[in-house]
Amino acid sequence: MSSNESLANLLKEERRFAPPEELAAAANVTAEAYEQAAADRLEFWAAQADRLTWSTKPTETLDWSNPPFAKWFADGKLNVTYNCVDRHVEAGHGDRVALHFEGEPGDARTITYAQLKDEVSRAANALTELGVTAGDRVAIYLPMIPEAVIAMLACARIGAPHSVVFGGFSADALATRIGDADARVVITADGGYRRGKPSALKPAVDEALTKPGTEGVRSVLVVRRTGQETAWAEGRDVWWHDLVPRQSDQHTPQAFDAEHPLFILYTSGTTGKPKGILHTTGGYLTQASYTHHAVFDLKPETDVFWCTADIGWVTGHSYIVYGPLSNGATQVLYEGTPDSPHQGRWWEIIQKYGVTILYTAPTAIRTYMKWGEDIPAKFDLSSLRLLGSVGEPINPEAWVWYRKHIGADRTPIVDTWWQTETGAMMISPLPGLTTTKPGSAQTPLPGIAATVIDDEGNEVPNGSGGYLVLTEPWPSMLRTIWGDDQRYLDTYWSRFENRYFAGDGAKKDEDGDIWLLGRVDDVMLVSGHNISTTEVESALVSHPKVAEAAVVGASDPTTGQAIAAFVILRGSATEDENLVEELRTHVAKQLGPIAKPKRILPVAELPKTRSGKIMRRLLRDVAENRQLGDVTTLTDSTVMDLIQSKLPAAP
Ligand code: 6R9
């Protein structure tokens, strides 16, 4: 935000939803958790660390003697994979299903905790045979298949930090990440299934490894998934099925220091080279495990949990692999897209496996809104008892749609705010406690300290907007940016003294609940008022004909910036001139005349990252008639051509 004017507080959302009595009565976490954490935050986290099995119990909780470089549970030792797999088998749950894998072509595989233990042990032995030792980095570039989970757990088991790269990223993006982490081994597949077709992966690895900086890679371990023809580098490439199955299924996990690196995960950011976010062992697992238990109210004996995220996103790390498995959950793992072979695929999967908890992103919910509620209505979704959202602010109307058409107007929704950098959830309702408000993540979780401040660093009063900051260290916080401590300091800790700057705008409502308002870089400045993209988008989505909206501030000679909106219409709606005027009036009525978009353009698709976030920066380029910036992290780069072809000459 460039002016001293704090974010205008425009949106009024009055709907409230109390937690269902039955859920509240049996909830994993009660109001006591907030009280305990408020009384002694460190003691609270020390108690949560007890959820894990340590080979050496920590005596020290937080070492903050060299801020902002934190050490949590520093004198403790543990093995992450033992906590996620072996201990459940030892406790007699070996026959419990860990993963219900559903391939896109319809192939399915069920893996119990006992089988997972064998598979992970073999994979750990295989990596050892390839010469991987504790501390070596391993890049993982796989589709959403069980081997992705197994590979991550095998790395964690031997103390080799993994760096998972989205299966959809290009050879260049992969090469940069392999190079920055200086990986020794790459684990990949011949390909994966996308929209009914095999889509090759291995060629991108071959190309990446011709680029400078990747010379450290000694081996490429290749899973056969699609059976497609694959080029082979003798001496470097090894088939998973040649190496892994012949290994022993016995492997003794070694205990590592709580601060041993667990993984590096790259976030693209809008400028500069990707940042390698470093997470370590004990604190990360404590918070991933606790938040999964608390926010999803997980009952491992009866729940079937499904997080639809890709493993290449932090959500896949914390809420497919480490959180759920440390809690002994039964999960669905789905390889493909929501519309393959038909637009009801997700709901069919929920019906098939009796999914009880669904965790997905607003982008998916809005896509299903666009396709129409008659699609989920064809399936039996009565097993669902809890819904979650992550990745972007969820527009109140999408929230209400999600609850009504997926959750039978019965299930609570937890809107969870967090980041790659925070490692685990930070702000979220608790399903048995919180009376929820559509569009608000509401309350910092027990043990988390977050607030909203203005340009000068003063806390804003209730009813005002500003910047979201975290005011105390938390167990799963990033430890640094891999190889670049200075960038860690500059990016997160220099804007405000002693506080972590998240880069998001937020407001506090009259009750002090937090509403996320989008990235600060996206905030618009119209006639001297800071206006959040989220609020204008939510106003547009609250119109019955709009499924999804993206707004940007485009430079304007009279108002500084003017609001330009790109909208996707719902299934049955058609575009005409009246509609554009109708939408402009609708926004003005919802938020006030200051927020009325100057231009509205109906489009078929919006540019999104692989984790479903709208890339407003590219839309700003379009709105300001500029050459497009970097499009390498887009899911589908043809989307921008489509949008540009629809663009009338600038007024
Ligand atoms: C987990 C994840 C982080 C950014 C974050 C914010 C946005 C995520 C949100 C949300 C509003 C939520 N974000 N969850 N905004 N409400 N519930 O998404 O990590 O990919 O690193 O993105 O996503 O802008 O700063 P990551």
The per-residue pLDDT for range 558-592, each reduced to its tens digit, is 999 999 999 999 977 777 779 999 999 999 999 99
Decide: 331 and 320 in contact? Cβ < 8 Å: yes
Strands 386-389 and 191-194 turn out to be unpaired
Burial 292-319 (b: 16+ CB within 10 A, else e): bbbbbbbbeeebbbbbbbbbbbbbbbbb
Distance (angstroms) between ligand 1 centre and the Cα of 450 equals 15
Does the pLDDT value for residue 1 go beyond 60?
no
Residue 519, ligand 1, Cβ within 6 A? yes
Burial 174-207 (b: 16+ CB within 10 A, else e): bbbbbbbbbbbbbbbbbbbbbeeebeebbebbbe
Residue 214, ligand 1, Cβ within 6 A? no
Residue 60, CB-side half-sphere exposure with 13 Å CA sphere: 14
Residue 502, ligand 1, Cβ within 6 A? yes
Task: Work out the pLDDT band at 399, boundaries 50, 70, 90.
Answer: very high
Distance (angstroms) between ligand 1 centre and the Cα of 369 equals 21
- Mean pLDDT is lowest, of 39-48, 379-388, 616-625, for 616-625
Task: Work out the pLDDT band at 540, boundaries 50, 70, 90.
Answer: very high
Decide: 114 and 97 in contact? Cβ < 8 Å: no
What torsion, rounded to 10 degrees, do the Cα atoms 153, 155, 159, 163 define?
-110
Q: According to the annotation, is 436 in a ligand binding site?
A: no
Which residue, judged by its Cα, is nearest atom 22 of ligand 1? 419
Distance (angstroms) between ligand 1 centre and the Cα of 33 equals 24
Index of the ligand 1 atom closest to the CA of residue 519: 24
Index of the ligand 1 atom closest to the CA of residue 421: 21
What pLDDT, on a 0 to 100 scale, did the predictor assign at position 650?
46
Index of the ligand 1 atom closest to the CA of residue 441: 17
Task: Work out the pLDDT band at 232, boundaries 50, 70, 90.
Answer: very high
Index of the ligand 1 atom closest to the CA of residue 516: 11
Distance (angstroms) between ligand 1 centre and the Cα of 416 equals 8
Residue 325, ligand 1, Cβ within 6 A? no
Name, in order, each residue with C-beta under 8 angstroms of 552's C-beta and a sequence gap of 6 or more.
522, 524, 533, 563, 564, 616, 619, 620, 623
Distance (angstroms) between ligand 1 centre and the Cα of 60 equals 31
Residue 359, ligand 1, Cβ within 6 A? no
Share of the chain above pLDDT 90, in %: 91
Q: What is the mean pLDDT of residues 342-366?
A: 97
Nearest to 549 by CA among 586, 514, 592: 586
Residue 514, ligand 1, Cβ within 6 A? no
Number of H helices, E strands in the chain: 22, 30
Which residue, judged by its Cα, is nearest atom 11 of ligand 1? 393
Share of the chain above pLDDT 70, in %: 98
Q: According to the annotation, is 415 in a ligand binding site?
A: yes
Distance (angstroms) between ligand 1 centre and the Cα of 11 equals 20
Which residue, judged by its Cα, is nearest atom 1 of ligand 1? 419
Does the pLDDT value for residue 437 go beyond 90?
yes
Q: According to the annotation, is 417 in a ligand binding site?
A: yes
DSSP state of 594: G
- Mean pLDDT is lowest, of 184-193, 238-247, 351-360, 611-620, for 611-620
Task: Return d(Cα 549, Cα 524) in angstroms, integer.
Answer: 15
The residues facing 239 across adjacent strands are 222
Which sign, positive or negative, has the C-alpha torsion 634, 265, 483, 137? negative
DSSP state of 521: G
Nearest to 27 by CA among 332, 349, 295, 337: 295
Does the pLDDT value for residue 609 go beyond 70?
yes
CB atoms within 10 A of CB 372: 15
Task: Work out the pLDDT band at 268, boundaries 50, 70, 90.
Answer: confident
What pLDDT, on a 0 to 100 scale, did the predictor assign at position 273?
85
Q: Which helix (H) or strand (E) holds 564?
A: strand 560-569
Mean pLDDT of the chain: 95
Q: Which helix (H) or strand (E) holds 556?
A: strand 546-556
Decide: 421 and 478 in contact? Cβ < 8 Å: yes
Task: Work out the pLDDT band at 648, boundaries 50, 70, 90.
Answer: low
Index of the ligand 1 atom closest to the CA of residue 609: 20
Q: What is the pLDDT of residues 456-468, one digit of tens each?
A: 999 999 999 999 9
Which residue, judged by its Cα, is nearest atom 10 of ligand 1? 392
ipTM reported for the complex, 2 dp: 1.00
Residue 267, ligand 1, Cβ within 6 A? yes
Distance (angstroms) between ligand 1 centre and the Cα of 519 equals 9
Index of the ligand 1 atom closest to the CA of residue 313: 20
What pLDDT, on a 0 to 100 scale, did the predictor assign at position 243?
98
Residue 418, ligand 1, Cβ within 6 A? yes
What pLDDT, on a 0 to 100 scale, did the predictor assign at position 2?
47
Q: According to the annotation, is 212 in a ligand binding site?
A: no
Q: What is the pLDDT of residues 292-317, one digit of tens each?
A: 999 999 999 999 999 999 999 999 99
Does the pLDDT value for residue 635 go beyond 80?
no
What pLDDT, on a 0 to 100 scale, did the predictor assign at position 433?
97
Residue 515, CB-side half-sphere exposure with 13 Å CA sphere: 30
What pLDDT, on a 0 to 100 scale, did the predictor assign at position 296?
98
Q: What is the mean pLDDT of residues 50-75?
A: 98
Q: According to the annotation, is 617 in a ligand binding site?
A: no
Decide: 483 and 276 in contact? Cβ < 8 Å: yes
Does the pLDDT value for residue 182 go beyond 60?
yes
> Structure tokens of 576?
């005409």
Q: What is the mean pLDDT of residues 439-456?
A: 97
> Structure tokens of 293?
């238990």
Task: Work out the pLDDT band at 189, boundaries 50, 70, 90.
Answer: very high
Which residue, judged by its Cα, is nearest atom 6 of ligand 1? 392
Q: According to the annotation, is 627 in a ligand binding site?
A: no
Residue 467 exposed, middle or buried by CB count within 10 Å (0-12, 13-18, 19+): buried
Q: According to the annotation, is 194 in a ligand binding site?
A: yes
Residue 304, ligand 1, Cβ within 6 A? no
Q: According to the annotation, is 287 in a ligand binding site?
A: no
Distance (angstroms) between ligand 1 centre and the Cα of 96 equals 32
Among 392, 421, 426, 523, residue to substitute to test ligand 1 (most atoms within 8 Å of Cβ): 392
Range list of β-strands (E), 304-374: 304-307, 330-334, 357-360
Task: Return d(Cα 304, Cα 296) in angstroms, integer.
Answer: 11
Amino acid at 205: V
Q: According to the annotation, is 235 in a ligand binding site?
A: no
Does the pLDDT value for residue 269 go beyond 80?
no
Residue 270, ligand 1, Cβ within 6 A? no
Name, in order, each residue with C-beta under 8 angstroms of 51's C-beta and a sequence gap of 6 or more.
286, 289, 290, 293, 326
Decide: 466 and 453 in contact? Cβ < 8 Å: yes
Q: What is the pLDDT of residues 493-532, one digit of tens each?
A: 999 999 999 999 999 999 999 999 999 999 999 999 999 9
Q: What is the mean pLDDT of residues 126-133?
A: 98
